[in-house]
Structures are given as structure tokens and as C-alpha cells.
Amino acid sequence: MIQISENAQTHFRRLIEREAIAGMGVRLAAVHGGTPAADVRLEFAEPADLAGDEWAIDCDGFTLWLDAASVPYLDGAEIDYAAQATGGQLQIRAPKVKGSAPEAGASLVERVRWVVEHEVNPQLAEHRGHVTVEEVTAEGVVLLRFGGGCHGCGMADVTLKQGIEKTLMDKVPGVTAVRDATDHDTGQAPYMPRDVA
């Protein structure tokens, strides 16, 4: 499940003892678990701060509370504390926090959404844009809606055909085509305005 080193336990215990609040422990949660924006949040928590569905891990002198919804993303996490001359460094490694790619036998929709969220959207974010999956047909046609800087962008067609469609067809067996469902004339802040005739 979760490994918390002796050094980390000692570090947390000292901090908790300094606060002198009965029942205080440490709560660990995944924020935006399973997405490219995922991160780990570690905070001190009193019993009144708990939701009631946390998993309790007994440590040396305190309890580590694990957010129940975060369990799949924090499985295999490691917490360590390295003392240094200038203080110390807390290290949290959570290899599953961003999720894992669906298996080959997963539905086409799951596999398409994974690639869109983990490969396509991080690239589009560089231009303040993103896409959402509107539909995946039984024939393998993916219908996308552009948003942000991509909504109304003069390069959306090129992005769709040379970027997104190529990526999805290369990485997701079963995708036969990618189509745009966006009304680009309504875009408010395109990254590159369309030519107006």
C-alpha cells in the first residue's frame, strides 16, 4: 500500500508533538487523481477535519489518514524525509497518481479519452486551448469540441488533421476518423484569429 520511512515518521511525530493537539495526524490525498494535473496533498489533520471514510494507517506515534477516493492513485506511494545541513526535504513519490493507461481490452471511448487527456490536451494547453470528447461512434469516428484558445482559432483544422487525428489514429486502434463539432464562429479568444472575408 503506502510506505512511510522511519525518518518521515520521526519528522511528522516531532511536528505533531509540537502542536500538542490530541488525535492530530497526517492526511494524504490525490488532487485531480488520474489526470495530467494530478498532484499529492499532504496536510496535518485533527479528528474534526476528517470526512469519516479515510483509511487509517498506524504509524509510530500518529495516524496517517488516506483519503478513500485517492486510494487507487496512492497505491505504492512512498514518503521519505532526508535531513540536510540546511534543514530537510520531504519526498513523496506516487507513481500511480496520474493514473495508468487503459488496457488494450478497454472500451474505445476509455482509450480515446485517455490519449486526449494525457497527450493531446497538454499540448493544446500551450496555446490556451483544449478539446473534449463529444462522441465516439461504433464505426470509430471521434467527435471533438474545441475550447479555450482553440475555439475559433484559424489553425484548428490543421491542428485537428495533422495533430489530433494523427495522434489518435496512431495510438488508439479502432479510431477511423476525427471530426470537429465546434462552431468556430462563436470563439471569443482564439489563439490565432480566423480570416474574416
Together in a domain, 160 and 133: yes
Mark which of 58, 93, 128 sits at the end of a domain. 93
Answer with the one of 93, 124, 146 that is the final residue of a domain.
Answer: 93
Cα–Cα distance, 161 to 179 (Å, whole number): 9
Q: Exposed (0-12), middle (13-18) or buried (19+): which is 87, by Cβ within 10 Å?
A: exposed
Q: Is residue 195 part of a domain?
A: no
pLDDT digits (tens), the chain, 197 positions: 899 999 999 999 999 999 888 889 999 999 998 888 899 999 999 989 999 999 999 998 999 999 999 999 999 999 999 988 788 899 999 999 988 888 888 999 999 999 998 899 989 998 889 999 999 999 999 999 999 989 988 888 999 999 999 999 999 999 999 999 998 888 787 777 777 54
**79 & 37 share domain:** yes
Q: Is residue 59 part of a domain?
A: yes
82 and 22 in a single domain? The answer is yes
Domain final residue, candidates 93, 118, 152: 93
Number of domains in the chain: 2
List Cα–Cα distances, 112 to 53, 61, 65, 179, in angstroms. 32, 46, 34, 13
| Domain-embedded: residue 103 | no
Q: What is the pLDDT of residue 196?
A: 55
Tell me whether residue 128 is in a domain.
yes
The sheet carrying 3-4 orders its strands as 3-4, 78-84, 87-93
Residue 138 and residue 58 share a domain:
no
Cα separation values, 12 from 54, 62, 63, 153, Å: 19, 8, 10, 50
Would residue 129 count as lying in a domain? yes
Instruction: Tell me what pLDDT residue 197 has.
Output: 47
192 within domain boundaries: no
Kind of pairing, strands 78-84 and 129-136?
Answer: unpaired
* 166 is a domain residue: yes
pLDDT at site 178? 96
The reply to whether 101 falls in a domain is no
**Residue-number span of the structural domain to which 148 is assigned:** 108-186
Residue 41's pLDDT is 95
- Looking at residue 69, which CATH number applies to its domain? 2.60.300.12
Q: Are both 125 and 89 inside the same structural domain?
A: no
CATH of the domain at 172: 3.30.300.130
